[in-house]
Amino acid sequence: MSDFDLKKLEAIIATRGRSGDPQSWTAQLFNAGMPKAAQKMGEEAVEAVIAAVKGDREELVSESADLLYHWLVVLALAGVSVDEVMAKLESRTGQSGIAEKASRPKA
């Protein structure tokens, strides 16, 4: 399994977004600003939905990758970190007790 994760991509996006490199899609999105980045995120979300409904597994993987990348660009532009989102998700696991049950050793 790959050890690539959202935090690594978040760091790449932060660097590339500020690079000023005209070849960089991330820099282009940072320059264009939130409306364009959020629009791209929405388009990729719709494409992922279509792939899911079609039952096209390969396309769903590809569109999910596009979606996560554009979602991270939107978070970066909003000044929100992956850690903040993870903390929110983690706080919800406590509400159901599922995380505690999942981490308990099986009898």
Residues that bind ligand PRT in the complex, under the rule CB under 6 A? 12, 16, 24-27, 66, 69
Q: Residue 55: what residue type?
A: G
Nearer to ligand PRT, 11 or 86 (CB): 11
Question: DSSP characters for 29-56?
Answer: HHHH-HHHHHHHHHHHHHHHHHHHHHT-
Cα-Cα-Cα-Cα torsion 40, 66, 4, 74, nearest 10 degrees, comes to: 10
Closest approach of ligand PRT to the CB of residue 15, in Å: 8
Nearer to ligand PRT, 16 or 75 (CB): 16
- Position closest to ligand PRT via CB: 26
DSSP state of 19: S
Nearer to ligand PRT, 59 or 66 (CB): 66
Closest approach of ligand PRT to the CB of residue 37, in Å: 11
Closest approach of ligand PRT to the CB of residue 86, in Å: 19
Q: Say how far apart CA 85 and CA 5 lie, in whole Å.
A: 14
DSSP state of 12: H
Looking up tokens 């939905």, which residue turns up?
49
Closest approach of ligand PRT to the CB of residue 35, in Å: 15
